[in-house]
Amino acid sequence: MVTAFEAFLQLCQRIRGTGLVKDAYRSTVEELVAKFLHIIGHNVKNQSVSFFFHQSRETVSRHFHNVLSAILRLEGKFLIQPNGTVVEPHILNNSRFYPYFKDCLWAIDETHVRVTVARADAPRFRGRIDWPTQNIFAAYDFDMKFTYVLAGWEGTASDSRILKDALV
């Protein structure tokens, strides 16, 4: 079993391997990745991170975007889309599911998440629910691992419109 610290160090090694993020005079790759994870994990602004680390907002922003670029470059190593040639074992071995789901690659679902938006934008985000929501579309495989997520559509957007955007 890999601990969280070991997983963090492995992520830092992979990011270092891209060549986009390197140890600098005043900060290591581990520190840059920790700042990046803190920003996305706690939804904080660069300003608060720059205050805590005594660095300018421009420096924090540059570091954030360098780590983000490195992670995006690693996308192909972490996100592997199914090619449709292999039938999942629990579909193949179940006579109840096999004839119907043998060509199925993943399942799709969408959900509404409550959001805070400007008062002027609230009507676009208010759908069937009384408060503003964001429509999130997700695809996942039979191991319940996400293979695709599309977020950002206002709550009033139709399902077919969101699916069309996901297929483009």
CA 53 – CA 166 distance, rounded (Å): 39
CA 49 – CA 38 distance, rounded (Å): 8
Asked if 48 and 42 touch (Cβ cutoff 8 Å), the reply is no
pLDDT score at 122: 80
**For 18-72, how does the pLDDT look when each residue is reduced to its tens digit (9 = 90+)?**
888 998 778 899 999 999 999 988 888 888 888 888 888 999 999 999 999 999 8
- Read off the pLDDT of each residue in 7-23 and give the average, rounded to a whole number: 91
- Asked if the model's pLDDT at residue 73 lies above 70, the reply is yes
CB atoms within 10 A of CB 156: 15
For residue 3, which amino acid is it?
A: T
pLDDT score at 95: 83
CA 75 – CA 73 distance, rounded (Å): 5
The helix/strand/coil state of 82 is coil
- Asked if the model's pLDDT at residue 6 lies above 80, the reply is yes
The helix/strand/coil state of 128 is coil
Full-model pTM = 0.56
- Read off the pLDDT of each residue in 82-87 and give the average, rounded to a whole number: 68
Q: Which tokens is 71 given?
A: 């992670």
- Read off the pLDDT of each residue in 75-85 and give the average, rounded to a whole number: 71
Percent residues over pLDDT 90 in the chain: 21
